[in-house]
Amino acid sequence: MVALGVLASCGKVIPTDGRIDVIPLPNQLSVEEGNFTLKPSTKIVQTFDVEGMSYALAFWNDVMLDVVGRELTVIPEKQAQRGAINILQDTSMESEQYRLTVSDGSIEISAATANGVFYAFQTLRQMLPVAAFNEAGSRIEIPACKIDDKPHFEYRGFMFDMGRHIFSVQEVKDMIDILAMHKINKFHWHLTEDQGWRIEIKKYPKLTEIGSIRKSSPIGKNKGQDGKPYGGFFTQDEVRDVVKYATERFITVIPEIEIPGHSVAALASYPELGCTGEQYEVATWWGVDDRVICPGKELAFTFWEDVLSEVIELFPSEYIHIGGDECPKTYWKKCPDCQARMRREGLKSEEELQAYVTKRVEKFLNERGRKIIGWDEILQGGVTKSATVMAWRGPQYGIEAAKLGNHVIMSPKTNCYLDYYQSRDTKNEPFSIGGYVPVEQAYALDPYKELNTEEQKYVLGVQGNLWTEYISKYDHAQYMTLPRMSAIAEVGWSYKNKNYESFLERLPHLSDLFDVYGYNYAKHVLSEKQTPAAEAEQK
């Protein structure tokens, strides 16, 4: 974007601003004397090669195109060189760990993996003076430092709901870039809903022919209908493209296929999957729908297994999210097939019937080398030890799961729901589902609360969730995500040394980078007018 400027301003020095404001906060960081001067002629000395190294280098060279106007030359060498960015192998390090040393003479990045190198480059990008992105210069100062860094939690996720509103492949990729900037490593892609089925399944073409389009959408909070058809879906080629894009940014895409609730779009496509066989339309209202898939019928399991068979071909992720939330039992209670299944299997309640579904689907996936994640309702009616529970209704469900010995991902709505309001001043906010999660509250999440050391081991990490009933435009999605996702990313990465005051001091620098990339973000905590959450709560 600045290539012409670089030619015109050859030799211009962009000085460091002297600050090393990195989000998420590195484990160990010491500021040293001096600066490294990056130039178009700076070389990258690559002393080892491992899978994915080209992705890490491609990321950095994209940044270099913007700031020095050209890609740096990569030279394979055995030894580090003075004046270069040296990539060194340290096999004693963990998979996401890196060490970054910047001095007058050179930059050294040490890691065991390409992922570590990628994260070192993410950190290094945040250390560039922001002016370098705007002014175009050919000598850019980076402050000397020593950083030793690795994540606290192995699972650092973000969920994006495509069911209520769908976003383009380009927008999804843009969000993946935002996540990579925060060293987020899981992109939970919510692909099926009452209001729309968003992934092509070859064996069930009606899922997208019929299920991807609703004839109308709600106005406001179910106040009326806009009467406009709305739809869209991702072809399998597009899915592969997104998965590849994420892989190149060290992000695993975890697909979610909702089982057995939130399935009206599937029922509209294949009515025989329901308890009554009635023909429904794709849902046009927001909320929890009573109409769910009928586990009394063997056909339902054939459907789920067929769909998941195609899904696991598309997504290499070890984890597959099978939904499980908000499944009313209204129809099951009246359905002869559901009741017969319960008698045959000795199930004492409809909750146990849902647990039967979860267990059968889990077994199917386990046999194919995959593991399940389910929303915390999978705890009801009994859950296998091997299922991972995603706590959303509140931290207590995550605590319950960890105490049972189940792996847990903490994404309680109290801290992690990015569709909730970020300010009390709701009149000046885009219309939202409700709730109140200011940045400080997202930051305050303690995934280990009430867990002893043994139980803490079951907490895999944290996730921010962006539901999109009231979010139809991508710049709005960014606004809801940033900077609350920056806060959640720091909880996930820097759990042990996180500090909200320090986060607020570092955030302006990251928001400058948001401006560089044209990201839309909420500025409440960046302006003096902000009311701290604690105060607002007391009023």
The binder of 270, among ligand ACM, Zn ion, none, by C-beta within 5 to 8 A per type, is: none
Q: Is the peptide bond before 255 cis (omega within 30 degrees of 0)?
A: no
Task: Report, in Å, the least distance between residue 476 CB and ligand ACM.
Answer: 19
Stretch that binds Zn ion, among 202-210, 293-301, 312-320, 514-522 (CB under 5 A): 293-301
Task: Report, in Å, the least distance between residue 410 CB and ligand ACM.
Answer: 13
The DSSP line for 429-452 is S---S--B--HHHHHT--TTTT--
Residue whose CB is less far from ligand ACM, 55 or 285: 285
Residue whose CB is less far from Zn ion, 278 or 501: 278
The binder of 187, among Zn ion, ligand ACM, none, by C-beta within 5 to 8 A per type, is: none
Q: How many residues bind ligand ACM (CB under 6 A)?
A: 4
Binding Zn ion by CB under 5 A: which of 172, 213, 294, 408? Answer: 294
Distances (CA, A) of 396 to 80, 376, 392, 402: 51, 10, 9, 10
Binding ligand ACM by CB under 6 A: which of 171, 325, 351, 352? Answer: 325
Q: Which long-range contacts (CB under 8 A, 24 or more apart) does 360-367 make?
A: 360/301, 361/259, 361/301, 361/304, 361/305, 361/308, 361/322, 362/322, 362/386, 362/387, 364/304, 364/305, 364/308, 365/308, 365/312, 365/320, 365/322
In the structure encoding, which two tokens stand for residue 368, read together?
A: 């194919």
Q: Is 414 in the site for ligand ACM (CB under 6 A)?
A: no
Q: How many residues bind Zn ion (CB under 5 A)?
A: 6
Task: Give the SS3 label for residue 23.
Answer: coil
Residue whose CB is less far from ligand ACM, 181 or 373: 373
Residues 324, 375 contacting (CB under 8 angstroms): yes
Q: Nearest Cα to 390, choosing from 368, 417, 370?
A: 417
Max Cα separation, the chain?
A: 80
In whole angstroms, give the CA distance from residue 108 to residue 116: 13
Binding ligand ACM by CB under 6 A: which of 326, 337, 351, 400? Answer: 326
The binder of 338, among Zn ion, ligand ACM, none, by C-beta within 5 to 8 A per type, is: Zn ion
Task: Report, in Å, the least distance between residue 259 CB and Zn ion.
Answer: 14
In whole angstroms, give the CA distance from residue 331 to residue 30: 61
- Phi first, then psi: give them for residue 306, nearest 5 degrees: -65, -45
Stretch that binds Zn ion, among 150-158, 291-299, 485-493, 526-534 (CB under 5 A): 291-299
Task: Report, in Å, the least distance between residue 316 CB and ligand ACM.
Answer: 24
- Phi first, then psi: give them for residue 367, nearest 5 degrees: -65, -20
Stretch that binds Zn ion, among 156-164, 188-196, 240-248, 332-340 (CB under 5 A): 332-340
Residue whose CB is less far from Zn ion, 96 or 350: 350
The binder of 296, among ligand ACM, Zn ion, none, by C-beta within 5 to 8 A per type, is: Zn ion
Binding mask 341-370 for ligand ACM (x = CB under 6 A): ------------------------------
Residue whose CB is less far from ligand ACM, 15 or 394: 394
Residue whose CB is less far from ligand ACM, 258 or 490: 258
Q: Is 328 in the site for ligand ACM (CB under 6 A)?
A: no
What are the DSSP E strand ranges found in 55-209? 73-76, 85-89, 98-102, 107-111, 139-149, 155-161, 186-190, 192-193, 196-197
In whole angstroms, give the CA distance from residue 161 to residue 229: 19
Query: Which residues pair with residue 421 across a beta bridge?
Result: 436
Q: Nearest Cα to 521, choosing from 483, 464, 487?
A: 483
> How far, rounded to the nearest angstrom, does the alpha carbon of residue 228 sit from its chain's CA centroid?
30
Find the binding residues for ligand ACM in span 369-388 (CB under 6 A): 375
Q: Which amino acid is at 481?
A: T
Q: Is 357 in the site for Zn ion (CB under 5 A)?
A: no
The binder of 326, among ligand ACM, Zn ion, none, by C-beta within 5 to 8 A per type, is: ligand ACM
Q: Is 458 in the site for ligand ACM (CB under 6 A)?
A: no
Binding Zn ion by CB under 5 A: which of 296, 398, 464, 492? Answer: 296
Q: Is 332 in the site for ligand ACM (CB under 6 A)?
A: no
Q: Is 71 in the site for ligand ACM (CB under 6 A)?
A: no
Q: Is 154 in the site for ligand ACM (CB under 6 A)?
A: no
Task: Report, in Å, the least distance between residue 335 CB and Zn ion.
Answer: 3
Q: Nearest Cα to 433, choosing from 286, 304, 306?
A: 286
In the bound complex, which residue of the shown chain has the CB atom lying closest to ligand ACM? 325
- Phi first, then psi: give them for residue 515, nearest 5 degrees: -65, -40
In the structure encoding, which two tokens stand for residue 398, read together?
A: 């995550």
Q: Is 189 in the site for ligand ACM (CB under 6 A)?
A: no
Q: Is 392 in the site for ligand ACM (CB under 6 A)?
A: yes
Judged by the rule CB under 5 A, the positions of this chain that interact with Zn ion are: 275, 294, 296, 335, 337-338
Judged by the rule CB under 6 A, the positions of this chain that interact with ligand ACM are: 325-326, 375, 392
